[in-house]
């Protein structure tokens, strides 16, 4: 019987992982405890080993896809064996199922408006396909998942979809306004200045191509960087902070730096202010080791 290889939980707080690279191709033989893929967690990239021996019949999760813990990423079995998943769909039982024979419901409006047709499937819109991590992040930032398009299996909304969501790019959203208020507004009286004789534009010097800005390139954050960002933001927003500042008279230190640099000028060496600060820290630690 074919065996489903599922996304492992490599840490107590791991909820999903990213398939970085497949080390085996479909149809390749796989030995027990042989590495078949590389999985990226919030902390590291580790090799994922097959728990059974056989043929890699199917790769369910493609490279770069984010898969929740416990969901199938590949299937291993005998050559030519029919693949039968434990569940008919990768979607959990709590996720909504399509409604059969949905009858349209007519919504009555005014005579000047065209009646809208709404299906009963809309009634199930509050049950959204989303991973637990995506729901948690959306709740924390107050984001309505109805406005997010899912890129996961079956249209499931992943954490990446929530983090990359841009409200300015959501189509079909407009801000209603009152035309009577707009009509009541009048343009302020503006004094038009006297015409000024046009001046010849100054010649523009050519800018060297080496100084021209290069095209920006966006690189997706690794899961480790995402975890570091989350922990850093959490520490800044949830933990109390205090800052200590002190004024230091650096007159004598700067004079010493100037004298030393004059002596080292023949050797092509210079000391910086940072060198003096490090020297002071070393002296302080030696004097007060505790």
What's the token pair of residue 29? Answer: 């033989």
What's the token pair of residue 246? Answer: 């002190």
Residue 155 neighbours by CB under 8 Å, 6+ apart: 129, 149
Domains along the sequence of the chain with CATH: 3-77 (2.40.50.100), 109-169 (4.10.320.10), 251-287 (no CATH)
pTM above 0.95, yes or no: no
Phi, psi of 35 (to 5 degrees): -70, 130
pLDDT number for residue 273? 93
Q: What are the pLDDT digits (tens) for 197-218?
A: 555 555 655 555 555 566 778 8
pLDDT number for residue 195? 60
Residue 146, burial from CB neighbour count under 10 angstroms (0-12, 13-18, 19+): exposed
Residues in the chain: 290
DSSP 249-278: --HHHHHHHHHHHHHHGGGT----HHHHHH
Q: What are the pLDDT digits (tens) for 112-165?
A: 444 443 333 333 344 577 777 788 888 888 788 788 888 776 677 888 888 888
Phi, psi of 120 (to 5 degrees): -70, -10
- State which residues of the chain have pLDDT below 70: 85-127, 153-154, 167-214
| Pairing mode, strands 54-59 and 29-30 | antiparallel
């Amino acid at each position: 019987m074919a065996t489903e290889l599922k996304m492992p939980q490599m840490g107590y707080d791991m909820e999903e992982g990213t398939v970085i690279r497949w080390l085996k191709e479909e149809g390749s033989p796989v030995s027990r405890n042989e590495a078949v893929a590389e999985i990226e967690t919030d902390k590291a990239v580790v090799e994922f080993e097959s728990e059974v021996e056989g043929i890699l019949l199917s790769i369910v999760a493609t490279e770069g896809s984010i898969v929740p813990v416990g969901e199938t990423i590949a299937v291993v079995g005998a050559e030519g064996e029919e693949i039968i998943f434990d569940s008919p769909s990768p979607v959990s039982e709590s996720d909504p199922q399509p409604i059969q024979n949905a009858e349209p419901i007519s919504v009555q409006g005014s005579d000047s408006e065209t009646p809208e047709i709404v299906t009963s499937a809309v009634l199930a819109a509050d049950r959204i396909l989303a991973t637990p991590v995506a729901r948690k992040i959306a709740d924390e930032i107050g984001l309505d998942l109805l406005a997010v398009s899912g890129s996961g299996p079956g249209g499931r909304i992943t954490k990446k979809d929530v983090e990359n969501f841009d409200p300015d790019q959501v189509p079909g959203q407009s801000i209603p306004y009152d035309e009577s208020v707009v009509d009541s507004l009048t343009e302020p009286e503006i004094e038009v200045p006297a015409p000024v004789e046009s001046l010849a534009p100054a010649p523009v010097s050519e800018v060297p191509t080496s100084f021209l800005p290069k095209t920006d390139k966006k690189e997706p954050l690794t899961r480790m960087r995402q975890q570091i960002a989350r922990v850093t933001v959490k520490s800044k927003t949830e933990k109390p902070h205090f800052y200590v500042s002190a004024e230091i008279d650096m007159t004598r230190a700067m004079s010493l730096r100037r004298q030393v640099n004059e002596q080292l000028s023949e050797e092509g060496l210079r000391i910086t202010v940072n060198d003096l600060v490090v020297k002071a820290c070393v002296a302080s630690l030696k004097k007060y080791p505790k």
